[in-house]
């Protein structure tokens, strides 16, 4: 499949939309006070994982309710609500949600639960099956999916956690998705990847990246580059090719001095065929562009600090711009990487409670972004 073909459905659906105009010690729901130090990460890397959900081999050979949607997207509750929304507005979507969907039990004796989101903006939309997919992590893994045709959530199987790998940290930017093949990826500690076949709902262990790992990194599927882009402060930039099961170095380690890659924001934009990386602990205002041939170009700094803790970087569903949601939704900006222009969205409002940490997925076919925590909300941005 050519790069143009991979992006064709996304571009056409977005154009139609425009034409229509339409350590884990905190209780669940609380935000971490601060990020782990390097020493803590190294120590935690030796800690084993508590027994978690079964791996794919334990779940049986048959997929859990694998399907192709039988309802056109526009005719689903998701589609009908999205089409009725005005630019710059939020709308709540009624869905069937299992109890404690956004948490995992980490202490059976006390019943203590921890939130599987926070410090991440990394859910993904699968257009073939009409699902939002997210793998969460907080001491234990948990994968959830929303099906547009039934407006319901469910839990999916997860993989067997790598032996000896630490459990401290969050998901950060370590989820990715290839809509052309229906493959979801997660990189444990940013360098130990697993792939999930959406059609069969099975996981496959992939080779580790040839570079030092650690929590706080990011991956993103980059079709023009031929695979999964890995960005982290150690070892430079690497790309993983799922077809050949191999890694290659894209850029040496020195480029990450511009945007260090620890708690940074990383996002691929299918309309642009590029990846933007922003912020992080050591370079909170840094910005850079990564192109398909590996070219790394520092861009003008932004005038505010950005980290994955409370900020979101998303591809605009209708334009070639990006969207930034800052400081737990206290403000929102439209970002044009060609000019560096940041336009604050003056009519933006924050619908989330202080303890909520929603995950997000752009749905270009509908021109909206889906967010979920205790409730599910859609946001339709302006097309500037």
In tens, the pLDDT along 248-266 reads: 999 999 999 999 999 999 9
- Which CATH number, 3.40.50.720, 3.30.70.940, 2.120.10.80, 2.60.120.580, labels domain 3-380? 2.120.10.80
Those residues with Cβ within 8 angstroms of residue 51's Cβ, 6 or more apart along the chain or in another chain: none
CA pair distance 219, 232, nearest whole angstrom: 9
The confidence score (pLDDT) of residue 69 equals: 61
The phi and psi torsions of 84 (rounded to 5 degrees) equal -85, -5
In DSSP terms, 361 is beta-bridged to 370
Q: What is the pLDDT of residue 169?
A: 83
Q: Looking at per-residue confidence, does 291 or 48 come out higher? A: 291
Distance CA 17, CA 301 (A): 32
pLDDT at 1: 47
Q: How many other CB atoms are found less than 10 A from the CB of residue 60?
A: 11
Q: Region 149-156: what's the mean pLDDT?
A: 98
Give the residue-averaged pLDDT of 184-190. 96
- What does the alpha-carbon distance between residue 69 and residue 115 come to, in Å, rounded to a whole number? 30
Confidence of residue 7 (pLDDT cuts 50, 70, 90): low
The band of 24, judged by pLDDT with boundaries at 50, 70 and 90, is very low
- Residues above pLDDT 70, as percent of the chain: 82
SS3 for 232? Answer: coil
Structure confidence at residue 131 (pLDDT): 98
Interval 39-97: pLDDT, tens: 333 333 323 333 344 333 333 334 445 555 678 999 999 999 999 999 999 999 999 99
Structural domain boundaries of the chain?
3-380
Q: How confident is the model at residue 35 (pLDDT cuts 50, 70, 90)?
A: very low
What tens digit of pLDDT does each residue of 329-346 get? Answer: 999 999 999 999 999 999
pTM of the model: 0.85
């Amino acid at each position: 499949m050519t790069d143009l073909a991979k992006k064709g459905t996304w571009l056409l659906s977005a154009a139609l939309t425009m034409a229509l105009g339409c350590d884990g010690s905190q209780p669940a729901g609380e935000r971490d006070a601060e990020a782990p130090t390097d020493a803590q990460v190294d120590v935690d890397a030796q800690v084993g994982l508590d027994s978690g959900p079964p791996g794919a081999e334990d779940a049986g050979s048959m997929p859990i309710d694998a399907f192709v949607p039988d309802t056109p997207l526009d005719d689903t509750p998701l589609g009908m609500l999205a089409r009725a929304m005005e630019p710059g507005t939020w709308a709540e979507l009624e869905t069937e949600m299992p109890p404690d969907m956004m948490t995992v039990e980490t202490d059976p004796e006390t019943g203590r639960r921890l939130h599987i989101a926070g410090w991440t903006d990394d859910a993904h939309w699968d257009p073939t099956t009409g699902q939002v997919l997210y793998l969460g992590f907080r001491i234990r893994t948990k994968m959830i999916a929303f099906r547009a045709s039934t407006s319901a959530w469910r839990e999916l199987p997860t993989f067997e956690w790598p032996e000896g790998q630490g459990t401290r940290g969050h998901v950060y930017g370590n989820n990715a998705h290839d809509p052309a093949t229906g493959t979801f990826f997660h990189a444990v500690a940013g360098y130990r990847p697993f792939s999930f076949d959406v059609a069969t709902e099975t996981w496959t262990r992939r080779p580790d990246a040839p570079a030092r790992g650690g929590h706080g990194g990011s991956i993103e599927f980059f079709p023009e580059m031929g695979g999964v882009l890995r960005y982290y402060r150690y070892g430079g930039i690497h790309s993983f090719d799922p077809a050949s099961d191999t890694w290659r170095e894209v850029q040496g380690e020195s480029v990450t001095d511009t945007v260090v890659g620890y708690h940074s924001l990383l996002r691929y934009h299918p309309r642009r065929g590029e990846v933007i990386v922003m912020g992080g602990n050591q370079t909170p205002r840094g910005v850079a562009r990564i192109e398909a041939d590996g070219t790394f170009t520092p861009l003008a700094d932004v005038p505010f600090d950005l980290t994955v803790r409370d900020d979101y970087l998303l591809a605009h569903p209708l334009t070639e711009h990006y969207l930034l949601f800052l400081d737990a939704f206290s403000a929102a900006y439209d970002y044009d990487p060609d000019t560096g222009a940041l336009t604050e969205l003056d009519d933006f409002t924050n619908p989330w409670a202080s303890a909520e940490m929603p995950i997000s997925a752009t749905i270009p076919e509908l021109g909206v972004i889906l967010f979920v925590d205790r409730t599910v909300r859609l946001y339709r941005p302006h097309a500037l």
